[in-house]
Amino acid sequence: MKTLRDLKVKIFADGADKAGMLEMYRHPHIRGFTTNPTLMRKAGVNDYAAFAQDLLKCIPDRPLSFEVFSDDIAEMERQALKISKWGTNVYTKIPITNTKGESCVGLVRRLSQAGVKLNVTAMLPLDQVRDISAALAGGPSSFVSVFAGRIADTGRDPVPLMAAAMEMLAPYPNEELIWASCRELLNILQADSIGCHIITVPNDVLKKLDLVGRDLRDYSLDTVKTFRKDAVGAGYTL
Protein backbone atom coordinates (compact mmCIF):
# COMPACT_ATOMS: atom_id res chain seq x y z
CA MET A 1 0.00 0.00 0.00
CA LYS A 2 1.46 3.37 -1.02
CA THR A 3 1.91 6.20 1.44
CA LEU A 4 1.48 9.88 0.66
CA ARG A 5 5.25 10.17 0.38
CA ASP A 6 5.33 7.53 -2.37
CA LEU A 7 2.90 9.32 -4.70
CA LYS A 8 4.27 10.85 -7.90
CA VAL A 9 1.05 12.52 -9.04
CA LYS A 10 0.99 16.22 -8.22
CA ILE A 11 -1.90 17.23 -5.97
CA PHE A 12 -3.63 20.55 -6.69
CA ALA A 13 -6.20 21.95 -4.26
CA ASP A 14 -9.52 22.75 -5.91
CA GLY A 15 -11.64 25.45 -4.30
CA ALA A 16 -12.35 29.15 -3.83
CA ASP A 17 -12.40 29.61 -0.07
CA LYS A 18 -9.39 31.81 0.63
CA ALA A 19 -8.84 30.58 4.17
CA GLY A 20 -8.99 26.96 3.04
CA MET A 21 -6.64 27.62 0.14
CA LEU A 22 -4.10 29.31 2.38
CA GLU A 23 -4.34 26.44 4.84
CA MET A 24 -3.45 24.04 2.03
CA TYR A 25 -0.68 26.37 0.82
CA ARG A 26 1.15 25.65 4.07
CA HIS A 27 1.50 22.01 3.01
CA PRO A 28 4.40 21.39 0.58
CA HIS A 29 2.63 18.37 -0.96
CA ILE A 30 -0.02 20.72 -2.39
CA ARG A 31 1.68 21.69 -5.64
CA GLY A 32 -0.90 24.06 -7.16
CA PHE A 33 -4.44 25.42 -7.05
CA THR A 34 -7.48 25.54 -9.31
CA THR A 35 -10.81 27.28 -9.06
CA ASN A 36 -13.79 28.12 -11.27
CA PRO A 37 -16.78 30.52 -11.31
CA THR A 38 -19.08 27.95 -9.67
CA LEU A 39 -16.71 27.45 -6.73
CA MET A 40 -16.22 31.21 -6.43
CA ARG A 41 -19.95 31.84 -6.32
CA LYS A 42 -20.40 29.18 -3.62
CA ALA A 43 -17.63 30.83 -1.62
CA GLY A 44 -19.36 34.21 -1.84
CA VAL A 45 -16.81 35.88 -4.12
CA ASN A 46 -18.31 39.08 -5.54
CA ASP A 47 -15.35 40.71 -7.31
CA TYR A 48 -13.66 38.15 -9.56
CA ALA A 49 -10.51 40.12 -10.40
CA ALA A 50 -10.00 41.46 -6.88
CA PHE A 51 -10.30 37.96 -5.41
CA ALA A 52 -7.83 36.52 -7.92
CA GLN A 53 -5.25 39.27 -7.51
CA ASP A 54 -5.46 39.10 -3.72
CA LEU A 55 -4.95 35.35 -3.84
CA LEU A 56 -1.94 35.74 -6.12
CA LYS A 57 -0.27 37.99 -3.54
CA CYS A 58 -0.62 35.17 -1.02
CA ILE A 59 0.28 32.33 -3.42
CA PRO A 60 2.95 33.71 -5.78
CA ASP A 61 4.96 30.56 -6.40
CA ARG A 62 2.60 27.71 -7.30
CA PRO A 63 0.34 27.32 -10.36
CA LEU A 64 -3.06 28.98 -9.99
CA SER A 65 -5.82 28.53 -12.58
CA PHE A 66 -8.55 31.13 -13.19
CA GLU A 67 -11.32 30.60 -15.72
CA VAL A 68 -12.86 32.88 -18.33
CA PHE A 69 -16.63 33.20 -17.94
CA SER A 70 -17.90 34.71 -21.20
CA ASP A 71 -19.97 32.59 -23.58
CA ASP A 72 -18.72 34.49 -26.63
CA ILE A 73 -15.51 33.17 -28.19
CA ALA A 74 -14.09 36.63 -28.97
CA GLU A 75 -14.83 37.87 -25.46
CA MET A 76 -13.30 34.69 -24.01
CA GLU A 77 -10.11 35.58 -25.85
CA ARG A 78 -10.09 39.11 -24.42
CA GLN A 79 -10.68 37.80 -20.90
CA ALA A 80 -8.03 35.10 -21.31
CA LEU A 81 -5.37 37.60 -22.37
CA LYS A 82 -6.26 39.83 -19.41
CA ILE A 83 -6.18 36.97 -16.88
CA SER A 84 -2.85 35.71 -18.24
CA LYS A 85 -1.21 39.01 -17.30
CA TRP A 86 -2.09 38.69 -13.60
CA GLY A 87 1.01 36.64 -12.79
CA THR A 88 3.69 34.30 -14.12
CA ASN A 89 2.15 31.41 -12.16
CA VAL A 90 -1.32 31.95 -13.70
CA TYR A 91 -2.90 29.36 -15.96
CA THR A 92 -5.97 30.62 -17.82
CA LYS A 93 -8.84 28.16 -17.90
CA ILE A 94 -10.73 27.80 -21.17
CA PRO A 95 -13.72 25.42 -21.45
CA ILE A 96 -13.65 22.91 -24.28
CA THR A 97 -16.80 24.54 -25.77
CA ASN A 98 -19.15 27.40 -24.96
CA THR A 99 -22.74 26.69 -23.84
CA LYS A 100 -23.87 26.44 -27.48
CA GLY A 101 -21.46 23.57 -28.04
CA GLU A 102 -19.19 25.69 -30.25
CA SER A 103 -15.63 24.40 -30.09
CA CYS A 104 -12.91 26.41 -28.37
CA VAL A 105 -10.12 24.48 -30.08
CA GLY A 106 -9.30 27.39 -32.41
CA LEU A 107 -9.22 29.81 -29.50
CA VAL A 108 -6.95 27.48 -27.55
CA ARG A 109 -4.58 27.25 -30.51
CA ARG A 110 -4.39 31.04 -30.89
CA LEU A 111 -3.82 31.65 -27.19
CA SER A 112 -1.19 28.92 -26.95
CA GLN A 113 0.67 30.31 -29.95
CA ALA A 114 0.53 33.73 -28.26
CA GLY A 115 2.37 32.25 -25.26
CA VAL A 116 -0.57 31.99 -22.85
CA LYS A 117 -0.34 29.16 -20.32
CA LEU A 118 -3.69 27.39 -20.45
CA ASN A 119 -5.79 24.96 -18.46
CA VAL A 120 -8.33 23.58 -20.93
CA THR A 121 -11.23 22.33 -18.86
CA ALA A 122 -14.52 20.39 -18.79
CA MET A 123 -13.34 17.63 -21.14
CA LEU A 124 -14.80 14.11 -20.97
CA PRO A 125 -14.59 12.12 -24.25
CA LEU A 126 -11.21 11.26 -25.73
CA ASP A 127 -11.77 13.05 -29.03
CA GLN A 128 -11.75 16.31 -27.07
CA VAL A 129 -8.39 15.36 -25.55
CA ARG A 130 -7.01 14.50 -28.99
CA ASP A 131 -8.05 17.83 -30.49
CA ILE A 132 -6.86 19.96 -27.57
CA SER A 133 -3.51 18.23 -27.18
CA ALA A 134 -2.80 18.95 -30.85
CA ALA A 135 -3.90 22.59 -30.44
CA LEU A 136 -1.53 23.07 -27.49
CA ALA A 137 1.44 21.42 -29.23
CA GLY A 138 4.61 23.47 -29.18
CA GLY A 139 3.17 26.11 -26.86
CA PRO A 140 4.00 27.00 -23.26
CA SER A 141 3.31 24.78 -20.27
CA SER A 142 -0.40 23.91 -20.24
CA PHE A 143 -2.89 21.59 -18.56
CA VAL A 144 -5.43 19.25 -20.17
CA SER A 145 -8.22 18.80 -17.65
CA VAL A 146 -10.41 15.70 -18.00
CA PHE A 147 -13.32 15.37 -15.57
CA ALA A 148 -12.74 11.78 -14.49
CA GLY A 149 -15.16 12.14 -11.57
CA ARG A 150 -18.00 13.09 -13.89
CA ILE A 151 -17.12 10.18 -16.15
CA ALA A 152 -17.48 7.91 -13.10
CA ASP A 153 -20.82 9.56 -12.30
CA THR A 154 -22.17 8.08 -15.56
CA GLY A 155 -21.28 4.54 -14.47
CA ARG A 156 -18.12 4.35 -16.59
CA ASP A 157 -14.72 3.39 -15.21
CA PRO A 158 -12.53 6.48 -15.78
CA VAL A 159 -9.20 4.68 -15.34
CA PRO A 160 -8.89 3.20 -18.88
CA LEU A 161 -10.02 6.48 -20.43
CA MET A 162 -7.53 8.50 -18.40
CA ALA A 163 -4.76 6.04 -19.28
CA ALA A 164 -5.62 6.51 -22.96
CA ALA A 165 -5.53 10.29 -22.46
CA MET A 166 -2.03 9.96 -21.01
CA GLU A 167 -0.93 8.16 -24.17
CA MET A 168 -2.37 10.95 -26.31
CA LEU A 169 -0.34 13.55 -24.41
CA ALA A 170 2.90 11.54 -24.56
CA PRO A 171 4.22 13.31 -27.72
CA TYR A 172 3.69 16.75 -26.15
CA PRO A 173 6.19 17.55 -23.34
CA ASN A 174 4.60 20.95 -22.64
CA GLU A 175 1.27 19.38 -21.66
CA GLU A 176 0.18 17.79 -18.38
CA LEU A 177 -2.98 15.76 -17.82
CA ILE A 178 -5.25 16.71 -14.92
CA TRP A 179 -7.53 14.12 -13.31
CA ALA A 180 -10.34 16.54 -12.43
CA SER A 181 -13.48 16.28 -10.27
CA CYS A 182 -11.90 13.99 -7.68
CA ARG A 183 -14.52 12.31 -5.50
CA GLU A 184 -12.48 10.32 -2.97
CA LEU A 185 -8.93 9.50 -1.85
CA LEU A 186 -8.92 6.36 -3.99
CA ASN A 187 -8.95 8.62 -7.06
CA ILE A 188 -5.52 9.98 -6.06
CA LEU A 189 -4.09 6.46 -6.04
CA GLN A 190 -5.84 5.64 -9.33
CA ALA A 191 -4.39 8.75 -10.96
CA ASP A 192 -0.95 7.91 -9.63
CA SER A 193 -1.17 4.31 -10.90
CA ILE A 194 -1.53 5.42 -14.54
CA GLY A 195 1.17 8.09 -14.29
CA CYS A 196 -1.30 11.00 -14.47
CA HIS A 197 0.57 14.25 -13.95
CA ILE A 198 -1.91 16.12 -11.72
CA ILE A 199 -5.10 15.54 -9.75
CA THR A 200 -7.30 18.38 -8.51
CA VAL A 201 -8.75 17.62 -5.08
CA PRO A 202 -11.36 19.53 -3.02
CA ASN A 203 -10.52 20.49 0.55
CA ASP A 204 -12.91 17.99 2.14
CA VAL A 205 -10.98 15.15 0.47
CA LEU A 206 -7.58 16.76 1.10
CA LYS A 207 -8.28 16.73 4.82
CA LYS A 208 -8.35 12.92 4.65
CA LEU A 209 -4.88 12.59 3.15
CA ASP A 210 -3.43 11.30 6.41
CA LEU A 211 -5.61 8.20 5.96
CA VAL A 212 -3.60 7.02 2.94
CA GLY A 213 -2.03 3.69 3.88
CA ARG A 214 -3.62 3.60 7.34
CA ASP A 215 -3.97 0.21 9.06
CA LEU A 216 -7.54 -1.01 8.47
CA ARG A 217 -7.86 -2.70 11.86
CA ASP A 218 -6.99 0.54 13.64
CA TYR A 219 -9.40 2.44 11.42
CA SER A 220 -12.14 -0.08 12.23
CA LEU A 221 -11.58 0.45 15.96
CA ASP A 222 -11.71 4.22 15.57
CA THR A 223 -15.01 3.86 13.73
CA VAL A 224 -16.48 1.83 16.61
CA LYS A 225 -15.23 4.43 19.11
CA THR A 226 -16.90 7.22 17.10
CA PHE A 227 -20.26 5.43 17.13
CA ARG A 228 -19.98 4.85 20.90
CA LYS A 229 -18.94 8.45 21.61
CA ASP A 230 -21.86 9.85 19.61
CA ALA A 231 -24.37 7.52 21.24
CA VAL A 232 -23.20 8.56 24.71
CA GLY A 233 -23.10 12.22 23.73
CA ALA A 234 -26.68 12.05 22.48
CA GLY A 235 -27.84 10.42 25.72
CA TYR A 236 -29.62 7.57 23.94
CA THR A 237 -31.42 4.97 26.07
CA LEU A 238 -33.46 1.85 25.32
Helices and strands (H, E) in the chain, number of each type? 11, 8
DSSP state of 97: B
Determine the Cα–Cα distance for residues 76 and 79; give it in Å rounded to an integer: 5
Residues contacting residue 69 through CB under 8 Å, at least 6 positions apart: 37, 48, 79
| Structural domains in the chain, sorted by start | 4-212 (3.20.20.70)
Task: Return the pLDDT at 2.
Answer: 75
Asked if residues 148 and 177 have their Cβ atoms less than 8 Å apart, the reply is no
Determine the Cα–Cα distance for residues 51 and 53; give it in Å rounded to an integer: 6
**Predicted confidence pLDDT, tens digits, the chain (238 residues):** 777 788 999 999 999 999 999 999 999 999 999 999 999 999 999 999 999 999 999 999 999 999 999 999 999 999 999 999 999 999 999 999 999 999 999 999 999 999 999 999 999 999 999 999 999 999 999 999 999 999 999 999 999 999 999 999 999 999 999 999 999 999 999 999 999 999 999 999 999 998 988 999 999 999 999 999 999 999 999 9
Task: Return the pLDDT at 213.
Answer: 86
What amino acid occupies position 206?
Answer: L
Asked if residues 211 and 30 have their Cβ atoms less than 8 Å apart, the reply is no
Residue 22 CA, chain-centre distance (Å), reads 16
Catalytic residues: 93
Is the pTM higher than 0.85? yes
Asked if residues 186 and 158 have their Cβ atoms less than 8 Å apart, the reply is no
Q: In 3D, which of 141, 145, 129, 113 has the Cα closest to residue 34?
A: 145
Determine the Cα–Cα distance for residues 16 and 7; give it in Å rounded to an integer: 25
Asked if residues 59 and 25 have their Cβ atoms less than 8 Å apart, the reply is yes
Task: Return the pLDDT at 94.
Answer: 98
How many residues appear in the chain?
A: 238
Q: In 3D, which of 89, 71, 88, 68 has the Cα closest to residue 79?
A: 68
